[in-house]
Structure 1
């Protein structure tokens, strides 16, 4: 795999793994597992919130 692939897909893969781990831990047990599931499922929400509150990229208007 080339460097560009990993540059683009590293974060989505990590967020997917975090979500999957959170969903599985929610199904597995109680108490500590529930806490783990809340934490793991909260990570993607924190990332979304960060990019909604402080967008990155060009601030130029895209008029054609």
Structure 2
């Protein structure tokens, strides 16, 4: 039996949220200028921040023994 902590939403919440924010950023870049450009930069920086967080401090057990 699988532990309850590995259910569907526990695994997919962050990837879905990052994808949704990325789509908002891409649409904001296409829509207009000024405030829209700032919104697009902010939204498109979110995936980079998430990647950086998991590169600097990975989760789970280390495979190096």
With the length of structure 1 as denominator, give the TM-score of the two structures.
0.86
Which residue, 20, 25, 30 being the options, matches 1:27?
A: 30
Q: Tell whether 2:43 aligns with 1:49.
A: no
Q: Tell whether 2:42 aligns with 1:39.
A: yes
Give unpaired runs (5+ residues) of structure 1: none
Report the count of equivalent residues: 60
Could you tell me how far apart the structure 2 residues matched to 1:60 and 1:27 are?
Answer: 43
Deviation string 1:5-41 (CA, Å, 9 cap, x unpaired) is: 1011100000000000000000000000000000000
Could you tell me how far apart the structure 2 residues matched to 1:16 and 1:60 are?
Answer: 28
Could you tell me how far apart the structure 2 residues matched to 1:5 and 1:22 are?
Answer: 26
Could you tell me how far apart the structure 1 residues matched to 2:48 and 2:41 are?
Answer: 11
